């Protein structure tokens, strides 16, 4: 039986928490920006979800630190971590998150057909075994809010305890960012090609 995906109705674009001018930042916000650049590079822009998160500098700093590990140093190789990020962005119909990671995912080895299927809410026809295992784990977690014994056992055998924990961490972290972006209507970059969510 086919599963029908339902995406939320997206409100008209309106950036609820736009960027804060540097001269309007508090001392705590300036420190959070400095810490961000120290961790990610002097040229790193504080953009996307970190723009609204800057209203709570401590949350922003702790979120950035968690993201530094989950995106750049988790137990999953980049192809698989980016695969999981695309699954999460699609689940939340999050255009900024998709735009930020689509090309990175393709360069890391996710096939264009797989990415398109994920965006459209379809099970990709040709996944590698490790992608299929992660797809099932993430799908059950996001849709059912639990993971079956069979799916868990398969993921554990393939990725080990750390790999499964890191996978759940990636889903949780990018869900948090997607909820932030959706709540505050942070726009995708103007040159981003909209993902065909739910087609």
The DSSP 8-state label assigned to residue 159 in this structure reads H
Q: Considering only CA atoms, which of 95, 100, 17 is closest in space to residue 54?
A: 17
Question: What is the reported pLDDT for 198?
Answer: 81
Contact between 96 and 186 (Cβ < 8 Å): yes
Q: Which residues of the chain have pLDDT under 70?
A: 1-13, 199
Q: Rounded to 5 degrees, what angle do the CA atoms 79, 81, 82 make?
A: 65
pTM of the model: 0.92
Chain-centroid distance, C-alpha 15: 19
Question: What is the reported pLDDT for 125?
Answer: 96
Secondary-structure class of domain 72-184 per CATH:
mainly alpha
Question: What is the reported pLDDT for 79?
Answer: 98
- Domain range list for the chain: 72-184
Question: What is the reported pLDDT for 92?
Answer: 97
Dihedral angle over CA of 39, 80, 117, 154, nearest 10: -140
How many Cα neighbours within 13 Å face the side chain of 104?
16
Question: What is the reported pLDDT for 12?
Answer: 52
The per-residue pLDDT for range 77-103, each reduced to its tens digit, is: 999 999 999 999 999 999 999 999 999
Question: What is the reported pLDDT for 143?
Answer: 96
Across 131-145, b (16+ Cβ under 10 Å) vs e yields bebbbbbbbbbeeee
């Amino acid at each position: 039986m086919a599963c029908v995906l339902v995406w939320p109705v997206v409100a008209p674009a309106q950036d609820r928490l736009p960027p804060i001018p540097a001269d309007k930042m508090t001392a705590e916000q300036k420190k959070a920006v400095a810490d961000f650049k120290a961790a990610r590079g002097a040229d790193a822009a504080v953009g996307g979800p970190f723009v609204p998160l800057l209203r709570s500098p401590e949350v922003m700093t702790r979120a950035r630190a968690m993201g530094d590990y989950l995106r750049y140093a988790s137990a999953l190789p980049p192809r698989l971590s980016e695969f999981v990020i695309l699954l999460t962005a699609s689940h939340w119909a999050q255009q900024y998150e998709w735009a930020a990671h689509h090309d990175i995912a393709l360069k890391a080895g996710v096939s264009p057909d797989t990415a398109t299927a994920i965006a459209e809410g379809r099970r990709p026809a040709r996944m590698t075994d490790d992608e299929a295992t992660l797809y099932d784990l993430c799908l059950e977690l996001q849709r059912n809010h639990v993971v079956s014994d069979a799916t868990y056992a398969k993921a554990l055998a393939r990725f080990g305890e750390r790999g499964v924990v890191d996978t759940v961490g990636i889903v949780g972290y990018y869900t948090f960012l997607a909820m932030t972006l959706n709540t505050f209507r942070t726009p995708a970059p103007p040159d981003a090609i909209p993902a065909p969510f739910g087609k």
